[in-house]
Amino acid sequence: MTHHHPSHQSGSSGYQGAPQYVRPPAYDRSAYHTPGSSYGPSAPANGTPPYASAGGPNGSWPAQGPVKGSPPLWVGILALALSPVLAVGGIILSLVFGSQELDRELAAAQPGVTEELDASTMHTLYAPAGESVVASDCQVYGPEYDPIYVSDSYSTSTEERAGESYQEIGEFTTTDAGRYRVSCEGSSDLLAIEGNGYVWIGLGSLFSVLGAGVLGVLGVVLIVVNRISASQRRQSAWGGRY
């Protein structure tokens, strides 16, 4: 049996070689999407790449200035810094004014065995510093010759009067206003003063320390409030971006 094979002939109906790849027409996105459209991958007008974070390529927001709280932070810092200044300054002023008041009282007092004193007032008893006199050596009598108790003094303060030094030896409280008789064994040159200067020193120092403490606490509170308000504002600002 004879097989016939078709013969390949040259010409227009012959073998044309491998088919040639034809590139499809370019896809024109502008025909379907407008710049800045939220649909599709088209690039917005501002040049941000498609699907990129609004904050930038790395997803972070643009840098902004520090968020400030209220009240201003410097107010709390200033109050906290002034606290020790108030304490030290108040104590120094109390010592100065108290010492000046003591000097005036000592200058006005008349040394001797009798003193004109006010009623219901604590007085400090002084004797010359060179004399070894203690409270137990002294007796005080009121206008009606009633005995007045003299307590020991735990202070060793020394005051100057007319160029002479006087040392504190005891304290007593008057009953009625009038003439009091004071006597101490070993001394007749005695001084009895109200000692308002010590009140100045004590109360002035106390209120200075208390005032400084209040100012310091206020400064801390103001700083804490400032930080809390700044944190809340920062969270609010970031929360509005999502």
Whether residue 123 sits in one domain with residue 91: no
Give yes or no for residue 180 having a pLDDT over 50: yes
pLDDT tens, 53-63?
A: 444 445 555 45
Q: Examine residue 53 and state whether it is found in any structural domain, yes or no.
A: no
Whether residue 182 sits in one domain with residue 132: yes
Which of 86, 67, 76, 106 has its CA nearest to residue 197? Answer: 106
Identity (one letter) of the amino acid at 102? L
Q: What average pLDDT score do residues 7-26 get?
A: 52
Q: Examine residue 151 and state whether it is found in any structural domain, yes or no.
A: yes
Whether residue 160 sits in one domain with residue 218: no
Whether residue 132 sits in one domain with residue 79: no
Whether residue 217 sits in one domain with residue 171: no
pLDDT, greater one: 22 or 159: 159
pLDDT, greater one: 15 or 180: 180
Q: What average pLDDT score do residues 83-111 get?
A: 87
Q: What average pLDDT score do residues 159-185 get?
A: 87
For residue 118, the model assigns a pLDDT of 86
Which of 163-167, 214-218, 220-224 bottoms out in mean pLDDT, i.e. has the lowest?
163-167
Here the CATH number for the domain that contains residue 125 is: 2.60.40
Whether residue 199 sits in one domain with residue 183: no
Whether residue 181 sits in one domain with residue 126: yes
Whether residue 139 sits in one domain with residue 84: no
pLDDT, greater one: 5 or 187: 187
Q: What's this model's pTM, rounded to 2 decimal places?
A: 0.54
Q: What percentage of the chain carries pLDDT values higher than 70?
A: 71
Q: Examine residue 78 and state whether it is found in any structural domain, yes or no.
A: yes
Whether residue 142 sits in one domain with residue 201: no
Q: Examine residue 120 and state whether it is found in any structural domain, yes or no.
A: yes
184: tokens are 């101490």
3-state secondary structure the chain: CCCCCCCCCCCCCCCCCCCCCCCCCCCCHHHCCCCCCCCCCCCCCCCCCCCCCCCCCCCCCCCCCCCCCCCCHHHHHHHHHHHHHHHHHHHHHHHHHHHHHHHHHHHHCCCECEEEECCCCEEEEEEECCCCCCHHHEEEECCCCCEECCEECCCCCEEEECCEEEEEEEEEECCCCEEEEEEECCECCEEEECCHHHHHHHHHHHHHHHHHHHHHHHHHHHHHHHHHHHHHHHHHHHHCCC
CB 216 within 8 A of CB 81: no
Which of 184, 175, 178, 169 has its CA nearest to residue 113? Answer: 184
Whether residue 101 sits in one domain with residue 199: yes
* pLDDT band for position 239 (cuts 50, 70, 90): low
What is the dihedral angle through the alpha carbons of 70, 75, 81, 84, rounded to the nearest 10 degrees? -100
Whether residue 126 sits in one domain with residue 89: no
**Angstrom distance (rounded) from CA 223 to CA 215:** 12
Q: Examine residue 147 and state whether it is found in any structural domain, yes or no.
A: yes
pLDDT tens, 101-158?
A: 887 887 777 777 787 888 888 888 888 888 888 888 899 999 988 999 999 887 777 8
Q: How many domains does one find in the chain?
A: 2
Whether residue 171 sits in one domain with residue 156: yes
Range of 13-27, 103-117, 180-194 with top mean pLDDT? 180-194
Note down the domain range covering 79.
71-106+195-232
**What mean pLDDT, rounded, does the chain reach?**
76
Q: Examine residue 202 and state whether it is found in any structural domain, yes or no.
A: yes
In whole angstroms, how large is the CA radius of gyration of the chain?
49
Q: Examine residue 36 and state whether it is found in any structural domain, yes or no.
A: no
Residues in the chain: 242
Give yes or no for residue 89 having a pLDDT over 50: yes
Q: Examine residue 222 and state whether it is found in any structural domain, yes or no.
A: yes
